[in-house]
Amino acid sequence: MNHQDIPPKPASPPTGGMPRVHGAGDGPVPAPASVTWSQPHPDPGQPQPAHRGPALWKALFAVVILAVVAGLVWLALWLNADSGQDLAAPEASGVLQTTATPAATPLPLPRDGVAPAQYALGDCFKDFDPEALASSLVPCDTGHSAQLVAVFHYPGEAAYPGAEALKAKALEACQAARLGPAANQYQLNFQRSFPSSTSWESGDRRVDCYVTADGGNVINASVLP
């Protein structure tokens, strides 16, 4: 046998320059000095876990905030409603008259020396002076210069509201007055009358609205419907 025909045994590979791989029996692997963590890219084919923790807390926080805001809004509306009802209570008990059914002034007419407290809605006045202590009432189908077309009665227990408030209430009464077709035949103006603080103390609680003619006793019909 020719020993030269047998290939020589391979030499052992070198080990000095190879990196060492730690196995299970080599102990724990020391951590590097610094680590940068990154999220792995999700696999589109695999279902991903739902991260519900932060979103749930945000939703609960939003619900609490909305509930607090709604409670504050309701409280504000409730307080405003109560205050509005309290402020409107005295006027709500007043009475506005715009319809003369029937006229309270007794017949026969004309009548002289009628005091303002005795004026009735629908009364017609000759030579009317709103500041006079007495007036002459005449039938509305005879010549007259004014007619009472709206009256607002304050309740007897009401406190004196002041001149400006009385003026505003008289204006409201005039705006609420309902006039009939005969009013279109004349050049008319609205005129207001309201109590002073002195007459209020004596029991005067009415605010009056009249239509008046500048030309004197030229109205010959009732201007109410």
Residue-wise pLDDT for 48-68, tens only, equals: 544 445 666 667 777 778 777
Q: State residue 54's pLDDT score.
A: 61
Q: State residue 124's pLDDT score.
A: 96
Q: State residue 102's pLDDT score.
A: 63
Q: State residue 8's pLDDT score.
A: 46
| 186-202 residue pLDDT tens | 999 999 999 999 999 99
Q: State residue 53's pLDDT score.
A: 53
Residues of the chain with confidence (pLDDT) below 50? 1-42, 44, 49-52, 82-92
Q: State residue 97's pLDDT score.
A: 85
Q: State residue 25's pLDDT score.
A: 40
Q: State residue 56's pLDDT score.
A: 65
What is the SS3 assignment for the chain?
CCHHHCCCCCCCCCCCCCCCCCCHHHCCCCCCCCCCCCCCCCCCCCCCCCCCHHHHHHHHHHHHHHHHHHHHHHHHHHHHHHHHHHHHHHHHCCEEECCCCCCCCCCCCCEEEECHHHCCCCCEEECCCCCCCCEEEECCCCCECEEEEEEEECCCCCCCCCHHHHHHHHHHHHHHCCCCHHHHHCCEEEEEECCCHHHHHCCCCEEEEEEEECCCCCECCCCCC
Q: State residue 153's pLDDT score.
A: 95
